[in-house]
């Protein structure tokens, strides 16, 4: 009991530290094949071993400059686990403006479990965050927390207090659920000491849209981009060839730092050990790209179709607006229609795989009195009906609006639906996009706290006002203090 109370006190202190926190272009029928850049291996590990984690584990630098892999935790002992008893209640919160998926999942839950009384409250983003950070540590709040990554300043520190339920035994005991249908390697990257306290629901994959001609005119050979360092070198080469141009169609307000961090898969703390984990060389290479393109102004172009047009005006290297299946297929057709050769660039991360950024995730608070119903709702969020579904209205908006599903059959379903509706002859393009989206091997969930530290401590280097040594030393000191809290 003392341990539980201490855990809740720690979680309360953590959560109270929170800071305030479709394209209109005309699709074209085109069956052209995009030329992909050479990327990391897409070989999948479909093991159901809950302790597998990322096969390319991050490394941490020791004092003597050597690197060591992060600790791999063994699977906890679940031999005495039994599913919680059924209850007649379920409490769920939705956040206004981001409610399509959770509202549809609640409707399906009510159909499947009509005897359960569901209390579904729709809250403003401010009220949602306030109630989450006060009610959950006190043992109340929703039975299933479905939220976006910006709501918690550091989900891993939250997990270190064990404020959320380990869902591994639930999945292991469920004969209806099969991790082989999901991007499990990405989900495993969110494990904390072997526990699956949070589960990703939607991901954002960085696939940059450009043309082969844009690259070759700048002296870049896409087939030679095989590592993250190669990609950064290509960005620098583009800047040297076109010094007045932007890197991407959006993101210039922070010198493309968020975009590059997301694609790199970089982690800065080994939360399992509570220690700093940074590869200085790779971090330096990435920030050199930010420094090269620093102009003090934003290069925001606008909607997806405008950003694609900007390619032909040689305004930037890649369009990074729109990451969904329709956006990708429309880009291929549009670039081909303008007489150039499409080239999609899914960036190889620093581990040699492909990283996707976590958009939303779900967790079951330890204080939930209705854990079985919460798990049932989570399964519905992960089902093909939600992962690959859309609202039954004329607009037919996808339930997952920002990125891609974590369910592989849903990725295929959504891509083929776009193909059949807008690009009936583009079979090869559709398969290319399916291959890219299912090649994810890593998930990035960069805490907002750490991003803020990067901006505060490294901006002097990016702007050319301070040396790398001074900025990096300050950043490491900040990280060490934060990791030890």
Which conformational region is residue 337 in: left (phi greater than 0), alpha (psi within -120 to 50 degrees), or beta?
alpha
Asked if residue 423 lies in contact with residue 30, where contact means CB atoms within 8 angstroms, the answer is yes
Asked if residue 429 lies in contact with residue 419, where contact means CB atoms within 8 angstroms, the answer is yes
pTM above 0.85, yes or no: no
**Can you give the pLDDT at residue 193?**
93
Q: What are the residues whose beta carbons fall under 8 Å from the beta carbon of 19, sequence distance 6 or more?
A: 153, 448, 452
User: Where are the extended beta strands (E) located within 326-379?
Assistant: 342-346, 355-363
- The percent helix, strand, coil of the chain (3-state, each to 5) is 40, 15, 40
**Can you give the pLDDT at residue 322?**
62
Dihedral angle, C-alpha 152, 156, 162, 168, nearest 10 °: 110
In angstroms, the CA 98 to CA 314 distance is 35
**Can you give the pLDDT at residue 171?**
97
Query: What are the tokens at 15?
Result: 């959560």
**Can you give the pLDDT at residue 300?**
54
**Can you give the pLDDT at residue 77?**
86
**Can you give the pLDDT at residue 90?**
98
All domains in the chain, ordered by first residue: 47-69+82-204+355-444 (3.40.190.10), 205-354+445-484 (3.40.190.10)
The owner of tokens 């059924």 is 86
Of 210, 280, 369, 256, give the one whose Cα is nearest residue 60: 280
**Can you give the pLDDT at residue 442?**
93
Provide the residue-wise pLDDT of the chain in tens; the chain has 485 residues: 444 433 433 343 334 333 333 333 333 344 444 444 444 443 433 334 433 334 334 444 444 444 444 556 777 889 899 999 999 999 999 998 778 999 999 999 999 999 999 999 999 999 999 999 899 999 999 999 999 887 888 999 999 999 999 999 999 999 999 999 999 999 999 999 999 999 999 999 888 889 999 999 999 999 999 999 999 999 999 999 999 888 988 888 889 999 999 999 999 999 999 999 999 999 999 999 999 999 755 555 555 545 566 666 767 788 776 667 778 888 888 888 889 999 988 889 999 999 999 999 999 999 999 999 999 999 999 999 999 999 887 667 899 988 899 999 999 999 999 899 888 988 988 998 999 899 999 999 999 999 999 999 999 999 999 999 999 999 999 999 999 98
**Can you give the pLDDT at residue 307?**
59
Straight-line distance from the first to the last Cα atom of the chain, in angstroms, rounded to the nearest whole number: 23
Q: How many C-beta neighbours within 10 Å does residue 261 have? A: 23
Asked if residue 278 lies in contact with residue 473, where contact means CB atoms within 8 angstroms, the answer is no
CA distance to 220, 384, 448, 459, per residue, from 153 (Å): 38, 30, 5, 20
Q: Which helix (H) or strand (E) holds 128?
A: helix 125-135
Asked if residue 318 lies in contact with residue 210, where contact means CB atoms within 8 angstroms, the answer is yes
Query: What are the tokens at 461?
Result: 């280097």
């Amino acid at each position: 009991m003392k341990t539980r109370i201490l855990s809740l006190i720690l979680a309360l202190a953590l959560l109270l530290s929170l800071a305030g926190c479709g394209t209109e272009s005309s699709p074209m029928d085109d069956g052209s094949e995009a030329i992909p850049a050479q990327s990391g291996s897409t070989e999948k590990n479909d093991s159901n071993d809950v302790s597998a984690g990322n096969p390319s584990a991050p490394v941490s630098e020791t004092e003597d400059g050597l690197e060591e892999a992060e600790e791999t935790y063994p699977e906890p002992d679940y031999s005495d686990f039994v599913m919680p008893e059924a209850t007649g209640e379920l409490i769920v919160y939705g956040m206004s403006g981001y409610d399509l998926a959770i509202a549809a999942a609640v409707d399906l839950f009510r159909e499947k479990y009509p005897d359960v009384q569901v209390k579904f409250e729709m809250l403003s983003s401010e009220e949602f965050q306030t109630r989450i950070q006060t009610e959950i540590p006190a043992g109340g709040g929703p039975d299933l927390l479905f939220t976006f990554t910006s709501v918690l300043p550091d989900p891993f520190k939250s997990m270190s207090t064990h404020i959320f339920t380990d869902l591994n035994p639930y999945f292991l005991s469920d004969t209806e659920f099969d991790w082989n249908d999901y991007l499990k390697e990405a989900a495993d990257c969110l494990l904390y000491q072997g526990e699956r306290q949070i589960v990703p629901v939607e991901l954002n994959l960085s696939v940059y849209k450009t043309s082969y001609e844009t690259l070759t005119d700048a002296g870049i050979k896409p087939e030679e981009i095989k590592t993250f360092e190669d990609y950064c070198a290509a960005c620098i080469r583009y800047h040297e060839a076109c010094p007045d141009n932007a890197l991407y169609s959006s993101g210039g307000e922070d010198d493309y730092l968020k975009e590059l961090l997301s694609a790199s898969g970089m982690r800065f703390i080994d939360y399992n050990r509570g220690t700093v984990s940074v590869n200085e060389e790779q971090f330096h290479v990435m920030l050199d790209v930010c420094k090269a393109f620093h102009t003090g102004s934003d290069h925001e172009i606008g909607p997806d179709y405008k950003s694609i047009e900007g390619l032909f005006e040689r305004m930037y290297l890649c369009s990074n607006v729109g990451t969904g299946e329709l956006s990708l297929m429309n880009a291929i057709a549009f670039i081909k229609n303008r007489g150039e050769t499409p080239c999609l660039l899914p960036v190889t991360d620093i581990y040699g795989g492909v990283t996707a950024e976590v958009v939303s995730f779900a967790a079951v608070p330890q204080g939930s009195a209705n854990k079985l119903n919460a798990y049932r709702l989570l399964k519905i969020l992960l089902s093909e009906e939600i992962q690959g579904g859309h609202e039954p209205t004329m607009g037919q908006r996808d339930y997952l609006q920002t990125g891609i599903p974590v369910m592989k059959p849903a990725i295929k379903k959504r891509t083929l639906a776009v193909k059949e509706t807008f690009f009936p002859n583009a079979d090869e393009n559709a398969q290319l996009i399916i291959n890219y989206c299912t090649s994810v091997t890593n998930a990035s969930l960069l805490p907002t706290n750490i991003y803020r530290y990067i901006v505060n401590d490294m901006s002097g280097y990016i702007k050319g006002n301070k040396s790398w040594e001074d900025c990096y030393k300050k950043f490491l000191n900040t990280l060490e203090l934060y990791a030890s809290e």
